[in-house]
Amino acid sequence: MRASKSSDGIILSLFVTLMFYLLIPQTVFCQTEKLGIVQYTPPKGMTKTPKENVVAFSEFNQTTGRFCIITLYGATASSGNPTGNFAAEWNRLVVKNMKAEANPKTDEQKGDGWTAISGGSEAESEVGKAVAFLTVISGFGKSFSVLAVFNDPEYAKQVDAFIGALEMDKPAAPANKTTVAKPTLDSDGNLIIPLPTRQLTVADLAGEWGEESGLISTTYVDRYSGDYAGSDHLAFRSKMTITANGGYFNDFYEVRNGKKFADKTTGTVTITGRVLSIKENGSTSKFVVRGWLELPEMTIMIICGPLNDNDLIRHIENPLQGANLNNTWVRKK
């Protein structure tokens, strides 16, 4: 397979092209088209397949078996975290549809207010072995992606040309139309986080959320003698990025009894009614949304779980049910 013999060189070449197109103004001589805020030049000789907020270009040579597919995914609301955007999009577009590395090496370039994260690896799809190269560009409250899948190094030139000709508008960051609430305290001085006043969408969840436990200490005693039997100390921190397309990236870190543990996972997010579902590592965790509060500097969400399907209704109907399973997520503005 020609692609597998030189995939590292292909990816390096595309990284270099990405740097030039971000930092040097491009002159476009061919006829250009637009997909939302993105202006692009269609690759010559390729078949165009437009869809809603997506346009794909493909070429298949039945005689030689060579193929190339370049897909431009239109801009959506950005999470504000370019690295998280890339991880979520790589999982959604590549890992879920092909056999490929879960965490490819990436390159970051910045220019003119935009940040591009790009990476690639060998991949195997229904049409055969190939190289998958993804570029996710974020800026001004928006992000969009370009995915190229091809099995011959010669196609790298066309991918170069397509990326090199991209031009982006500079949309203003979207205004937050959600009503900002005035903080309300209960009789004990605790902030009240009310139920959502409308149906939340995945787009509402887009952004980087943080969750920190503080120090959790548990002391154990012998049930018969009452003597001290040890203790457990835990502190953890999660940074969870959700994209407007439902991508999910979690950067988790904990210290338990002096031992450190870190893990990075990717997956997808959906929300139906007040049930938030997070799928990662082949399993789905479900939570009940119990609070949503927009403040001038942050958004606070309370979720309860994870819960099994049989417990979801009880926890939705009774806000006090399983209060020990409540988690507080915070997204800074």
Can you give the pLDDT at residue 288? 94
pLDDT at 23: 41
* Domain chopping of the chain, boundaries: 2-168, 202-332
- Around Cβ 2, how many Cβ atoms within 10 Å? 14
Pairwise CA distance, residues 35 & 50, whole Å: 10
Count the Cβ atoms, other than its own, within 10 Å of residue 23: 11
pLDDT at 153: 87
pLDDT value for 136? 94
Q: What is the mean pLDDT, run by run of 10 residues, along the chain of 333 residues? A: 46 51 44 92 93 94 92 87 90 92 89 88 87 92 92 88 86 51 73 89 91 61 69 74 90 80 90 92 92 91 92 84 89 87
pLDDT at position 18 is 46
Half-sphere exposure of 307 (CA within 13 A, CB side): 24
Rounded Cα–Cα distance for residues 208 and 79 (Å): 6
pTM of the model: 0.57
Q: What is the CATH number of domain 2-168?
A: 3.40.1000.10
Query: How would CATH label the architecture of 202-332?
Result: Beta Barrel (2.40)
Do 269 and 287 form a contact (C-beta atoms < 8 A)? Answer: no
pLDDT of residue 37: 93
Report the pLDDT value the prediction gives residue 198, as an integer from 0 to 100.
87
Work out the end-to-end distance of the chain between its first and last CA atoms, rounded to an integer number of angstroms. 48
Same fold yes or no, 2-168 and 202-332: no
